[in-house]
Amino acid sequence: MKKFLSILLIAVLVSAMLVVPASAEDNDEPAETPTNVALNKEYTISGNGKNYSHTGSVTDGIVCEKPFSGSSAASKEERLSSWFCFYYHVNAAYQPNVNAPDGIGYLIIDLEDEYDLSALKVFLIDKPTWGSPIPDAVNAYVSLDGVAFEEVGTFDLECEEDSPFWSEIEVDCKARYLKIEMDLGSTEGYLGEVEAYGVKAKADNGGNDGDNGGDKEEDKVDVEALMKEALGAAPADSKVEYVIEAPEAYEAGDEITVKVIVKNITAENGIHVVSFVLNYDNTKLLLTNDLDEEDENALVCVTKLPKDWENLSVVANDYSDENPEGTVVNPLNDGVIEVNVFTAKSAASAAIKEDGALELEFTFKVLDNAAGDIGLVIPNATAEGAYNGKDGEIVYEATGSYAVIKAPVVDPDEPGTSDEPSTPDEPVVPGDASNMIIFAIIALVAIAGSAVVIKTRK
């Protein structure tokens, strides 16, 4: 009888070894459902930064599904309040209204965090009755830093005449910024809404849950390569250069100063106008320059200003028909600064001719959670200089520059900074296959020994 019981126990334990516990995937929480992460997010617009003749937002979740003409047409108020309009015109008199230079307009949506995107949608309309047929192309781009963008797809524009429609593309990418670009093919192009579906991106820290272990995503980004790409090709005949001077390295929480110095002036008469766009990483830097008390749109950034010169450097603005002058949007953390420093005097004495005769200074606070290198760039395409002579203004090509502020160097001797991942003792987890097998083997050995004893005592 005892022998029978021993064999029975062995059989039970062996069968327990053959039971496969539920996989880790079966125990995982259900996958997140992608949502529209672009909803109610702010965005910047190309050209003059305005929605031409309309007041609609492309991220408010409101669309007008009525056509623009016919018995079921939307009212004028519905059209104006629901649609965004890109506009282009070759006539110089209309240039103040142009938000799609050279017929190509774009807007950049700040998703305010990094997301794993799976689908993008745009709401469009083909309305040839107004002389504005469907655009030639609508493309989507994504970026993690707001500087270097990667194209992820082109929307299908097949549709019925004068019928609003959705166009969708599937994507598989991580993004903080979403850029929608429209090639008008005419004077106007309409966009009703932009939706971006995704889930919040999980932090990539090399598989180690500790703060210091593994390679973090920030460490994998080649910021210098991104800045070089954003800088773009140098102009063929540059007459002036805007050189960024920044600290070599930073510590989280630092107050830092970044200078832009006008150098390499080769224009014979010098220059009367300095114009460029300074882009900085607003996920790591907080702009702390004061605003001009006399002009709420202007930044006090010039530290070395020649006589008779004025500073109209501004941060991004929010324009509308009701507010054509615009108002500052989030002035301390936009990531884009439009720099325009000039003199209305045409006398040669008012022109800049010497290197370093004009320095612009910007102050930033490094955010406490900043990690990885920090880039700043003045793209060549945004840089210009000009001279106001007797025959009018002469615009010169100019060269931009970039700077990379290095991340703090981690001391390997500091506690918690070892490259070797920690392997703390872990308790036995019930249901773990390996632990179950080990337990079963130990039990088998013990019972087998008991069986021998029983046998010898027979």
| Domain membership flag for residue 410 | no
| Domain membership flag for residue 152 | yes
Structure tokens at 110: 């700040």
The boundaries of the domain holding residue 192 are: 35-200
Distance of alpha carbon 413 from its chain centroid, rounded? 35
| Domain membership flag for residue 355 | yes
Query: How high is the pLDDT of residue 441?
Result: 41
| Domain membership flag for residue 207 | no
Residue 232, pLDDT > 60, answer yes
| Domain membership flag for residue 423 | no
For residue 79, what are the contacts with CB-CB under 8 A and spacing of at least 6? 54, 64, 68
Question: What does the pLDDT look like over 136-167, one tens digit per residue?
Answer: 999 999 999 888 899 999 999 888 777 889 99
Regarding whether 228 and 375 lie in a shared domain, the answer is yes
Structure tokens at 428: 């036995």
Q: What is the dihedral of CA 50, 51, 56, 59, to 10 degrees?
A: -70
User: In 3D, which of 46, 50, 52 has the Cα closest to residue 188?
Assistant: 52
* Burial status of residue 211 (CB atoms within 10 A of its CB: 0-12, 13-18, 19 or more): exposed
Structure tokens at 274: 């300095």
Structure tokens at 52: 């031409």
d(CA 140, CA 180): 5
Query: How high is the pLDDT of residue 368?
Result: 87
Regarding whether 443 and 391 lie in a shared domain, the answer is no
Query: How high is the pLDDT of residue 27?
Result: 54
Question: What's the CATH code of the domain at 110?
Answer: 2.60.120.260
Regarding whether 436 and 358 lie in a shared domain, the answer is no
Which pLDDT band, with edges at 50, 70 and 90, does 210 fall under? very low
Regarding whether 313 and 195 lie in a shared domain, the answer is no
Regarding whether 173 and 255 lie in a shared domain, the answer is no
Regarding whether 267 and 159 lie in a shared domain, the answer is no
d(CA 191, CA 132): 12
Regarding whether 9 and 118 lie in a shared domain, the answer is no
| Domain membership flag for residue 420 | no
Q: What is the pLDDT averaged over residues 203-212?
A: 46
Regarding whether 391 and 327 lie in a shared domain, the answer is yes
Q: Which of 34-48, 92-106, 331-345 has the lowest mean pLDDT?
A: 331-345
The domain total for the chain is 3
Regarding whether 61 and 193 lie in a shared domain, the answer is yes
Distances (CA, A) of 7 to 16, 88, 403, 442, 455: 14, 88, 76, 16, 12
Regarding whether 17 and 45 lie in a shared domain, the answer is no
Residue 123, pLDDT > 50, answer yes
Q: How far separated are the first and last CA of the chain, in Å rounded?
A: 11
Q: Which of 55-59, 403-407, 425-429 has the lowest mean pLDDT?
A: 425-429
Regarding whether 165 and 50 lie in a shared domain, the answer is yes
| Domain membership flag for residue 418 | no
Question: What's the CATH code of the domain at 313?
Answer: 2.60.40.680
| Domain membership flag for residue 374 | yes
Question: What does the pLDDT look like over 289-306, one tens digit per residue?
Answer: 876 666 655 676 777 777
Query: How high is the pLDDT of residue 247?
Result: 95
Regarding whether 150 and 232 lie in a shared domain, the answer is no
**DSSP assignments along 310-342, one per residue:** EE--EE-EE--SS-TT-EESSTTS-SEEEEEEE
Q: Provide the mean pLDDT of the chain.
A: 77
Question: What does the pLDDT look like over 372-389, one tens digit per residue?
Answer: 899 999 999 989 999 888
Query: How high is the pLDDT of residue 329?
Result: 44
d(CA 138, CA 131): 18
